Amino acid sequence: MKKLINKLEIILGFKINNTDLYLKAITHKSLDKINNYEKLEFLGDRVLGLCISKKLFEIFPNEKEGILDKKLASLVNKNKCYEVGRYLKLDKIVKIGNLRLNRLVIEKKIVSDSCEALIGAIYLDKGFDYVEKFILKNWNKHINDKNIIIIDAKTKLQEYSLKKFKILPIYKFISDTGPKHKPNFKVAVKLKDTEFVEAEGLSKKLAQQAAATQLLKIIDKLK
């Protein structure tokens, strides 16, 4: 374990105080059902969101709330956490049990979740100021990227559902009406704890995006 902690300290660039926190942050539940990264991931996700929100608020003081929300979603998601996790070489040190995974190609979600758990561990071990510096250092190039890819509503809803319920949203096709030159598609979408929400669009994909947008608005109001 000491060798692993030393490797983590080299990757992170600082001395670790509470080694147990960091060992949990890189341990998947398939290896240890109790001492794993799930709770730290929950905490790290919130800390990451707060730090990135604070930074966006500072560098875009005149931006509208809706645009800031889209920028936040483009920076705090599984793909970005996976990129940072790979940069930190977490894919090489995450500890997993008997999963049907190639050790050289560890599932993206595990690396992403471990990255958020690591943020939670740093926060508990070093405090907010320290973890904020760590986050901004590793997200800086993404924050300053002028070509930020805005996450669409369907993707955002999918990530929310996977994080909260570990399952995908359920989409249901309802109808296809109107003339061929101007069709009108109606679909509905629901999560594990919601009713179906309907929306329409000129294509099935557009209708799904509209339905996802409506459901996200409902979720935001309930927060």
pLDDT in tens, 1-25: 788 888 899 989 899 999 999 999 9
How many folded domains does the chain comprise? 2
Of 91, 120, 143, the last residue of a domain is: 143
**Are residue 37 and residue 64 in the same domain, yes or no?**
yes
Residue 17: both structure tokens together: 């105080």
**Are residue 32 and residue 94 in the same domain, yes or no?**
yes
188: amino acid identity, one letter: A
Of 143, 177, 202, the last residue of a domain is: 143
**Are residue 32 and residue 92 in the same domain, yes or no?**
yes
Active site residue 116: yes
**Are residue 16 and residue 74 in the same domain, yes or no?**
yes
Residue 96: its pLDDT value, please? 84
Residue 135: both structure tokens together: 């986050």
Residue 104: its pLDDT value, please? 43
Residue 181: its pLDDT value, please? 64
**Are residue 126 and residue 31 in the same domain, yes or no?**
yes
In a domain, 148, yes or no: no
pLDDT in tens, 151-188: 788 988 998 999 889 899 999 999 998 777 667 899 99
Of 143, 173, 193, the last residue of a domain is: 143
Greater confidence (56 vs 143) lies with 56
Residue 37: its pLDDT value, please? 96
**Are residue 8 and residue 93 in the same domain, yes or no?**
yes
Residue 54: its pLDDT value, please? 95
**Are residue 80 and residue 102 in the same domain, yes or no?**
yes
pLDDT band at 201 (very low <50, low <70, confident <90, very high): confident
Active site residue 32: no
In a domain, 23, yes or no: yes
> SS in 3 state form for the chain?
CHHHHHHHHHHHCCCCCCHHHHHHHCECCCCCCCCCCHHHHHHHHHHHHHHHHHHHHHHCCCCCHHHHHHHHHHHCCHHHHHHHHHHCCHHHHCECCCCCCCCCCCCHHHHHHHHHHHHHHHHHHHCHHHHHHHHHHHHHHHHCCCCCCCCCHHHHHHHHHHHHHCCCCEEEEEEEECCCCCCEEEEEEECCCCCCEEEEECCHHHHHHHHHHHHHHHHHHHC
Inform me whether the pLDDT recorded for 142 exceeds 90: no
**Are residue 15 and residue 114 in the same domain, yes or no?**
yes
Greater confidence (142 vs 103) lies with 142
pLDDT band at 144 (very low <50, low <70, confident <90, very high): confident
Q: Residue 39: which domain range?
A: 2-143
Residue 149: its pLDDT value, please? 57
**Are residue 119 and residue 216 in the same domain, yes or no?**
no
Residue 105: its pLDDT value, please? 45
Of 113, 116, 125, 132, the active-site residue reads 116
Domain of 175, CATH number, reads: 3.30.160.20
**Are residue 56 and residue 161 in the same domain, yes or no?**
no
Residue 183: its pLDDT value, please? 79
Of 45, 83, 113, 125, the active-site residue reads 45
pTM of the prediction?
A: 0.69
Cα distances from 126 to residues 11, 55, 66, 136, in angstroms, run 16, 20, 33, 15
